[in-house]
């Protein structure tokens, strides 16, 4: 290229000589320099902000000094700003009804706040999943060729989007959930193990036993197998052109491995035990049937139904368990499957259960062996008692059952949790439906036609052409929807669900430290928001279509 360029015309002779400028005009041209003006403007803006902040914060400082000395008292009673958060170690002194972690009102403020955070995520994440399903369904239903379906989903979307979430939430909580029948007449849709009442939703729920870790290891193995099988079959397909249903084979392999894992973990598990007196002459759990027959003086368990109530009460087994422990579900399912009548006494701690065991109000105590081994030593004559192993499966269903005026077992979603979950899901699904619809409509018709022209099958067209393009449009607003949903969990305050906002509010009332808690609350919400923004940015950077 060197010979093709025009050589720069020699010396500086051809450059017009700078105009003779007076110093004044030189200075003026510096002042009017666009860069100088920009920086000057910004510095002026900063100064303006500083002046404003100074005015506001001088008031703030004096107010804090006046009423705030108490805010910064250390544990030892001294005053220091650094002790702003010392009070968080104090006893919380209020209850949180619905917690995932162990919490009592003598725990610290920190622990109460942690429970609030966990509750926020507990309701938020579940609603997030449900919203995705409901929103997608509604968005697709909106485009249905069935007039009734598309009209109904249109009505849903319009109504939901044009009313405040707060009113929806209040309607759901006060007018629907609290208006459900009492727990004695709980609604049981389709005779499934799901009970709807004004105490919330109770449903059967799987509980992991301690042997589940073995089974889960097998499951992971199964997933790996699936991948390997898929890769292997794909490669073979490429080489030989011989088609095979990769999914079916992979799934079959996975199921086989899962079944083996189930058998293995059932066989090797020996964590669960039952504490009984030697005198009951039971060596293993199978003996219960004999015991029952002997007690009731009958020949077959089916005759139990014919016994009068008092006699039945007399022969019923009284079992002590630990509250919310998986041992309960395991043992109860076992007794129930054999048709043995039983009564459960649920205890908060092993010590309480042992007390009942000692005074005879329960005949046996079902718990993990390790717990029993420790507790048996506390008995006066440990040798009079023995621990019978109870068989367990890696996963047991905790099935709700009626007992007196209550329903025991299963997973309980409290009315507050359930209302907030439903409210968030229904509201955000309305918005998401529009997002999904817009996303699918955004894939131009030409793309569909091009795919057909290439001879792709309908499934391939959907998976390879339509979905990837629609997802590009859908995912960014989807993530924004998620973020808004997570923030709106703070509406729990309307239905008294104790998520982080309501807990913080209570903390402020309890401690009188508004400022400190407000800062923590802001940091929590900002972290959530930054997390979602980071996902969004990551996605945008990765998937953005290069278009001009």
Partner 1 sequence: MTAIMDGPEATKVSDVIVCRDVHKWYGDFEALKGVNLTVEAGEVVVILGPSGSGKSTFIRCMNRLEEHQEGRIIIDGIELTHDVRNISEIRREVGMVFQQFNLFPHLTVMDNITLAPINVRKWSRDRAEELAMKWLTRVGIPEQADKYPGQLSGGQQQRVAIARALTMQPKILLFDEPTSALDPEMISEVLDVMRDLAKAGYTIVAVTHEMGFAREVAQRIIFMDGGQIVEINSPDDFFNNPTHERTKLFLSQILNH
Partner 2 sequence: MASISTTTNKPPVQKRGTFSKRFNATYFLQDNITGSRGQLIWVIILTILTLGVLVQQLGNAPSRAWIIFGIWAVGVIGTVVGELFTLHIGATRWLKENMFNNVTNVLVTLLLALLLGIVCSGLWRWGVVNATFSPELTHPDVRTFDGASWGVLWGARKLLLTGLLGPEHNSRVIGWTLTILALWLMSFIGTRDSTRETTAGTFIRRVANTGWILSPFISYIFLAGLDYEAPFVDFRTLIVGTAIVTAIMGILWFFKVIQLNPVSTAAWVLAWPLSYLLWRTIAYVSFNAEIFSPIDPDKWGGLLLTVIFAIFVNILSFPIGILLALGRRADVQGIPWWLLWPVAILLTAWGLYTSTFGNCIGTPSFLCENVNLWATSRNGIERVISLWPLLIPLATWSFLRSFNGNFLQAFSVLFIEIIRGVPLITLLFMAIIMAPFFLPEDSQGLSNFWAVIVGYTIFTSSYMAELVRGGLQAIPNGQYEAADALGINTLQKYRFIILPQALRILIPPLAGAVIGTFKSSSLVALVGMIDLVGSTKAIIANSQWLGLRTELYVFMFVLYFLVSSVVSWYSRRLEDQSGLGVR
Residues that bind partner 1 (CB under 8 A): 1, 4-6, 8-9, 13-16, 29, 32-37
- Asked whether position 223 contacts partner 2 by CB under 8 A, the answer is no
Binds 359, which of partner 1, partner 2, none (CB < 5 to 8 A, cut-off by type)?
none
In the complex, the smallest distance separating the C-beta of residue 433 from partner 2, rounded to whole angstroms, is 13
Give backbone dihedrals phi and psi of 203, rounded to 5 degrees, phi first: -145, 160
Window of 61-69, 102-110, 194-202, 209-217 that interacts with partner 2 by CB under 8 A? 61-69
Give backbone dihedrals phi and psi of 44, rounded to 5 degrees, phi first: -60, -40
Residue of 419, 474, 521, 536 interacting with partner 2 (CB under 8 A): 521
Residue of 73, 107, 108, 150 interacting with partner 2 (CB under 8 A): 150
Nearer of residues 3 and 240 to partner 1, judged by Cβ: 3
Give buried/exposed letters for 23-45 (b at 16+ CB in 10 A, else e).
Answer: eeeeeeeeeeeeeeeeeeeeeee
- Asked whether position 537 contacts partner 2 by CB under 8 A, the answer is no
Binds 39, which of partner 1, partner 2, none (CB < 5 to 8 A, cut-off by type)?
partner 2
Q: Which residues contact 30 (CB under 8 A, 6 or more apart)?
A: 36
Binds 293, which of partner 1, partner 2, none (CB < 5 to 8 A, cut-off by type)?
none
In the complex, the smallest distance separating the C-beta of residue 541 from partner 1, rounded to whole angstroms, is 18
Binds 62, which of partner 1, partner 2, none (CB < 5 to 8 A, cut-off by type)?
partner 2
Q: At what angle do helices 147-161 and 109-142 cross, to 10 degrees?
A: 140
Nearer of residues 166 and 312 to partner 2, judged by Cβ: 166
State the Cα–Cα distance between residues 531 and 534, nearest whole angstrom: 5
State the Cα–Cα distance between residues 319 and 409, nearest whole angstrom: 14
Binds 145, which of partner 1, partner 2, none (CB < 5 to 8 A, cut-off by type)?
partner 2
Q: Can you list the alpha helix ranges (DSSP code H) found in 325-462?
A: 326-338, 350-359, 369-376, 415-442, 445-453, 458-460
Binds 514, which of partner 1, partner 2, none (CB < 5 to 8 A, cut-off by type)?
partner 2
- Asked whether position 117 contacts partner 2 by CB under 8 A, the answer is no
- Asked whether position 538 contacts partner 2 by CB under 8 A, the answer is no
Give the DSSP H/E element, type plus range, for residue 207. strand 205-208
State the Cα–Cα distance between residues 85 and 306, nearest whole angstrom: 65
Burial of 375 (0-12, 13-18, 19+ CB in 10 A): buried
- Asked whether position 356 contacts partner 2 by CB under 8 A, the answer is no
Binds 269, which of partner 1, partner 2, none (CB < 5 to 8 A, cut-off by type)?
none
Residue of 224, 259, 374, 526 interacting with partner 2 (CB under 8 A): 526
State the Cα–Cα distance between residues 134 and 141, nearest whole angstrom: 10
Binds 248, which of partner 2, partner 1, none (CB < 5 to 8 A, cut-off by type)?
none
In the complex, the smallest distance separating the C-beta of residue 173 from partner 1, rounded to whole angstroms, is 48
Nearer of residues 39 and 523 to partner 1, judged by Cβ: 39
Give the DSSP H/E element, type plus range, for residue 252. helix 246-268
Residue of 42, 234, 370, 406 interacting with partner 2 (CB under 8 A): 42
In the complex, the smallest distance separating the C-beta of residue 446 from partner 2, rounded to whole angstroms, is 15
- Asked whether position 31 contacts partner 2 by CB under 8 A, the answer is no
State the Cα–Cα distance between residues 210 and 269, nearest whole angstrom: 8
Give buried/exposed letters for 269-281 (b at 16+ CB in 10 A, else e).
Answer: bebbbbbbbeeee
Binds 545, which of partner 2, partner 1, none (CB < 5 to 8 A, cut-off by type)?
none
Nearer of residues 2 and 305 to partner 1, judged by Cβ: 2
Phi-psi group of 77: left, alpha or beta (phi > 0 → left; psi -120 to 50 → alpha; rest → beta): left
**Beta carbons within 10 angstroms of residue 62's beta carbon:** 11
Residue of 119, 168, 330, 398 interacting with partner 2 (CB under 8 A): 168
Nearer of residues 63 and 90 to partner 2, judged by Cβ: 63
């Amino acid at each position: 290229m060197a010979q093709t360029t025009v050589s720069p015309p020699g010396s500086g002779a051809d450059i017009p000589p700078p105009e003779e400028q007076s110093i004044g005009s030189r200075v003026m041209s510096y002042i009017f320099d666009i860069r100088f003006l920009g920086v000057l403007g910004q510095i002026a803006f900063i100064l303006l902000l500083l002046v404003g902040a100074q005015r506001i914060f001088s008031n703030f400082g004096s107010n804090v000094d006046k009423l705030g000395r108490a805010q910064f008292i250390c544990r030892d009673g001294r005053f220091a700003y650094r002790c702003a958060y010392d009070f968080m170690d104090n006893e919380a002194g209020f209850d949180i009804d619905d917690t995932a972690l162990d919490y009592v009102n003598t725990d610290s403020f920190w622990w109460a706040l942690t429970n609030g955070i966990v509750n926020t995520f507990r309701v938020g994440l579940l609603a997030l999943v449900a919203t995705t399903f409901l929103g997608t369904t509604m968005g697709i239903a909106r485009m249905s060729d069935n007039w009734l379906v598309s009209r109904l989903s249109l009505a849903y979307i319009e109504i939901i989007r044009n009313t405040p979430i707060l009113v929806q939430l209040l309607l759901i909580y006060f007018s629907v959930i609290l208006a459900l029948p009492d727990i004695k007449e709980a609604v049981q849709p389709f005779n499934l193990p799901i009970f709807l009442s004004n105490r919330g939703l109770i449903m059967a729920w799987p509980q992991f036993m301690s042997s589940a870790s073995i089974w889960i290891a097998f499951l992971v193995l199964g997933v790996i197998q699936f991948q390997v099988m898929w890769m292997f079959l794909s490669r073979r397909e490429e080489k030989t052109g011989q088609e095979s249903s990769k999914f079916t084979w992979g799934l079959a392999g996975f199921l086989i491995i899962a079944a083996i894992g189930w058998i293995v973990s059932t066989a090797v598990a020996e964590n669960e035990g039952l504490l009984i007196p030697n005198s009951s002459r039971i060596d293993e759990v199978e003996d219960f049937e004999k015991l029952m027959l002997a007690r009731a003086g009958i020949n077959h368990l089916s005759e139990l139904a014919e016994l009068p109530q008092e006699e039945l009460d007399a022969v019923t087994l009284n079992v002590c368990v630990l509250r919310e422990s998986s041992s309960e579900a395991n043992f109860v399912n076992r007794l129930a499957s054999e048709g043995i009548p039983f009564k459960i006494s649920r205890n908060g701690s092993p010590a309480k259960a042992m007390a009942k065991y000692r005074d005879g109000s329960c005949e046996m105590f079902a718990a993990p062996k390790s717990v029993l081994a420790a507790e048996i030593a506390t008995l006066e004559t440990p040798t009079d008692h023995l621990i019978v192993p109870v068989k367990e499966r890696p996963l047991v269903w905790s099935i709700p059952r009626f007992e007196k005026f209550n329903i025991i077992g299963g997973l309980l979603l409290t009315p507050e949790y359930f209302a907030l979950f439903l409210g968030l899901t229904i509201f955000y699904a309305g918005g998401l439906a529009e997002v999904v619809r817009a996303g699918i409509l955004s894939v131009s018709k030409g793309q569909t036609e091009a795919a057909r022209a290439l001879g792709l099958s309908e499934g391939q067209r959907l998976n390879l052409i339509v979905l990837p393009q629609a997802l590009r449009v859908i995912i960014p607003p989807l993530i924004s929807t998620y973020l808004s949903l997570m923030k709106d969990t703070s509406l729990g305050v309307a239905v008294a669900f104790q998520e982080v906002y309501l807990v913080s509010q209570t903390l402020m009332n309890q401690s009188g430290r508004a400022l400190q808690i407000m800062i923590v609350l802001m940091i929590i919400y900002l972290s959530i928001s930054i997390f979602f923004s980071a996902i969004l940015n990551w996605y945008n950077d990765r998937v953005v279509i290069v278009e001009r």
